[in-house]
Chains A and B, each alone.
Chain A
């Protein structure tokens, strides 16, 4: 037999692409995301994220709730870090009413948002480790997170959905006992971040799975409207806390960690470093909490902002969370649009997944730290 007839050249071989469905029930999609992947061998030829499996109609429901009731719904948007969500809505309404929260309330807002940022990044670290195959960091991360949740519980009674922000202030005050507990936590937590570095961040296996994977250039990141650590991981210095300070963030001295190449590892390490910066902010805030009221005076029980439109945005744990509020003078918002950072961050997947290996999909998806409650709203 002719030996050469048996050799199949790559050009003569007919290969088909295959459709691979991922989700909505998949342990690594962090919720109910569905990805429709067209694979050519091991390489992804086309990726179509399918969202909406957690679309709860929050923007519509907001139109039937008063502002303070709206905070309840907002807590359930990005449930890993609920504090900044309510804050964005309160800031937008406060802008319309020309109300400013008293200094003590502002300090408490900063304190809670930063604690929540740490808690949220800890969830990210733990679950991202699991996605890659490192199961132990999950247990470490959730141990520290429980301590933060205990602090929240002491202050406002909630573990996950706090309903803490109020239009014109916050709902509960803190006492000296809380401050002592918080300091205790910070002292415990600071060396832990270095421990994470040895556990996961600089683990050779972890690095080889995440470095040079899922690269996003600064230009791509900006064009797709990414925000938060996903944008900063690509080296774009944009942080709402610096560029459009709210609640007195300009009083605090902190750095904005930036990545170099926009790889999965850069996005991951931005978050780890943000935890360190958050500790700095919390320490500074604890050292100098103004005395006084926690709610602005002279507000009605059911506030009715005057007719008009306002936009307020905060640096939530996952990026630039904006609230566009149109009021017609009633107790409920006429229209409330949420610029959900996760939703906008997720759209870039359809571009950057193409050309990657199937095995890297989970690593790339996990590095975006999406929360489906916010993606679908």
Chain B
């Protein structure tokens, strides 16, 4: 896939009818991407249990091509399922940067969206979008597995709109860039 992404826009454009080819290639690549979303098995809190239920028999995430991977190097979807605390923020940014592009983030549950019932706590981050860009937000405390399935379907719709000619497969959020909180970046890191 990487070779296709790197080489295809350049070699397809000069061809007669290359524009036509490009559109279908977009569709072709996005179709593959859409149905092979491999999330990282990464449970933070309560929502992780509902995430596990979604993998089990009743809701059967495998139907959507969602197969959990234990390593961020193999994953392309980061499911933030649970409360993100300030102590956990650093590892999450690190895991996010370990994932290969294009990567997607789904914030599952109120805690990952905005802090949820712990929004006024001294140790809870008020939404994971403060540290990494988020593609889909799923509300609920915790969201039902159906809601998670719906969120994944929305992400699939979003993936279908990706164009390799624009930004080489990065989502709009990724083009904006994430706030770097590891202390090395320019717009974050200072206490």
Contact = CB atoms under 8 A, between A and B. Distances in A.
A31 B46 CA distance: 10
Interface in A121-150: 123, 126-127, 138-139, 142-143, 145-146
A53 interface: yes
Contacts of B83: 54, 56
B57 A76 contact: no
B121 A61 contact: yes
Interface string B41-81: 11111101110110011100000000000101000000000
A338 B134 CA distance: 34
B124 A57 contact: yes
B124 A56 contact: yes
B45 A79 contact: yes
A225 interface: no
A161 B45 contact: no
Contact of A52 (B42, B52, B58, B87): B87
Contacts of B122: 57, 60
Contact of A138 (B42, B48, B56): B56
B118 A25 contact: no
A25, A64, A79, A373 — most chain B CB neighbours (10 Å): A25
A142 B57 contact: yes
Nearest to B70: A27
A139 B52 CA distance: 10
A338 to B, nearest CB: 15
Nearest to B122: A57
B41 A27 contact: yes
Nearest to A140: B57
A21 to B, nearest CB: 11
A31 B44 CA distance: 5
Contacts of A139: 56-57
B85 interface: yes
Interface residues of B, number: 34
B140 to A, nearest CB: 10
A161 B58 contact: no
Which of A54, A56, A142, A145 has most chain B Cβ within 10 Å?
Answer: A56
A25 B117 contact: no
Given A52-B87, A80-B49, A142 B58 contact: yes
B95 A25 contact: yes
A56 B123 contact: yes
Interface in B101-129: 117-118, 120-124
Nearest to A31: B43
Report which residue of A32, A60, A145 has the largest number of chain B beta carbons within 10 angstroms of its beta carbon. Answer: A32
Given A79-B49, A142-B57, A143-B57, A25 B123 contact: no
Interface of A: 24-25, 27, 30-32, 52-58, 60-61, 64, 72-73, 76, 79-80, 123, 126-127, 138-139, 142-143, 145-146, 159-161, 372-373, 376
29 contacts: A25-B42, A27-B70, A31-B43, A31-B44, A32-B44, A32-B88, A32-B91, A52-B85, A53-B87, A53-B88, A53-B91, A54-B44, A54-B82, A54-B83, A54-B85, A54-B88, A56-B118, A57-B118, A57-B122, A57-B124, A58-B118, A58-B121, A60-B121, A72-B117, A159-B50, A159-B142, A159-B144, A160-B49, A376-B85
Q: Which 10 A-B pairs have the closest CB atoms?
A: A142-B56, A79-B46, A57-B121, A27-B70, A53-B88, A56-B118, A27-B41, A57-B123, A139-B57, A146-B58
